[in-house]
């Protein structure tokens, strides 16, 4: 079984390598970790942004969060699904998003704030992970790590959002490195995540396409979140996208009350969105 798995991984690496060579000449990989934002005050060369007067992102204590690998908006009906998710969540975390003109215009229509961690630029469009919310984060920083074999970076955002109980919600939106045989690069990318979680006091969301296609990767993630006190929000009727039997997309949380979790079946991407419904925890009197 292990030999078959290794051969399958090597075959996929060859396919991806050939595809990467094809698009190489149309791709620009920035030398620095930078982000883009709908904020008019954002310097496009900055790694981090800070907002002086953010507003709480929850809705009277309710906090609905979804994560979705949108597959660069290459499939039909992505705009309809995106609009529905944006309308029905306080925070939408996207991976493999292409900042196209159509996407940017739709977010302007919806009056949503967004932050994008720019992994690379393909045919003039920045690609990476994006947070979409009704209000801006207190702060947000972009980080990347190049895939060891194909050299294209995967990105992540580490952000803090204000909640109506005056606490700060740490939100980590990640697209994990994929094409590796061992865990070295996978662990390396998650080191910054572990540091952020372990240094934060208060509620946390860790979500995204974690590419947990092996038991080894899944076990590492489970130990990582256990050490930081997080729990996974698992859909009762689980339709999350899987590879070799393992779900790829996850939402982990801490110090929030989970109400419900669902996975939404769609043909508008190669991943199904995952959505979790939370309420803020009531603070005990001191």
Per-residue pLDDT reduced to its tens digit, 188-199: 999 999 999 999
Residue 209 has pLDDT above 90, yes or no: yes
Decide if 163 is inside a domain. Answer: yes
Higher-confidence residue of 244 and 159: namely 159
149 pLDDT band, cuts 50/70/90, is: confident
CA–CA dist 178, 195 (Å, integer): 21
Decide if 97 is inside a domain. Answer: yes
Decide if 286 is inside a domain. Answer: no
Per-residue pLDDT reduced to its tens digit, 17-58: 656 555 556 799 999 999 999 986 556 679 999 998 899 999
- pLDDT score of 1: 60
Residue 7 has pLDDT above 90, yes or no: no
Decide if 166 is inside a domain. Answer: yes
Decide if 18 is inside a domain. Answer: yes
Average pLDDT of the residues in 158-166? 97
Terminal alpha carbon distance of the chain = 56
Parent domain of 274: 2-280
Decide if 109 is inside a domain. Answer: yes
Residue 233 has pLDDT above 60, yes or no: yes
Q: C-alpha angle 191/196/201, rounded to 5°? A: 145
CA–CA dist 154, 118 (Å, integer): 9
Decide if 170 is inside a domain. Answer: yes
Mean pLDDT, the chain, as a whole number?
Answer: 92
Which CATH number do you get for residue 104?
Answer: 3.60.10.10
% of the chain residues with pLDDT over 90: 81
- pLDDT score of 11: 73
Number of domains the chain contains: 1
Decide if 285 is inside a domain. Answer: no
């Amino acid at each position: 079984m292990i030999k078959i798995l290794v051969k399958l991984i090597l075959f996929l690496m060859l396919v991806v390598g050939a595809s990467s060579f094809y698009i190489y000449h149309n791709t620009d990989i920035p030398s620095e970790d930078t982000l883009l934002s709908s904020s008019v005050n954002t310097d496009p060369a900055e790694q981090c942004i800070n907002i002086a007067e953010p507003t709480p992102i929850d809705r009277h204590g309710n906090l609905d969060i979804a994560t979705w690998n949108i597959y660069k908006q290459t499939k039909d009906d992505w705009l309809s699904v995106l609009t529905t998710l944006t309308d029905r969540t306080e925070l939408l975390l996207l991976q493999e998003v292409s900042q196209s003109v159509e996407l940017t215009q739709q977010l302007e229509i919806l009056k949503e704030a967004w932050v994008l961690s720019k992994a690379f630029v393909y045919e003039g469009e920045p690609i990476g992970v994006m947070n979409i919310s009704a209000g801006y984060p207190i702060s947000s920083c972009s980080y990347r790590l190049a895939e060891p074999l194909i050299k294209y970076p995967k990105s992540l955002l580490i952000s803090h959002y204000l909640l109506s109980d005056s606490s700060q919600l740490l939100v980590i939106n990640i697209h994990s490195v994929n094409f590796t045989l061992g865990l070295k690069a996978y662990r390396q990318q998650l080191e910054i995540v572990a540091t952020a979680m372990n240094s934060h006091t208060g509620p946390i969301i860790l979500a995204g396409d974690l590419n947990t296609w092996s038991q080894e990767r899944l076990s590492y993630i489970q130990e990582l979140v256990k050490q930081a006190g997080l729990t996974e929000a698992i859909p009762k009727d689980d339709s999350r996208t899987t590879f070799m039997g393992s779900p790829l997309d996850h939402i982990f949380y801490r110090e929030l009350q989970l109400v419900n979790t669902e996975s939404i079946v769609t043909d508008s991407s190669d991943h199904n969105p995952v959505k979790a419904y939370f309420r803020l925890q009531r603070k005990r009197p001191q």
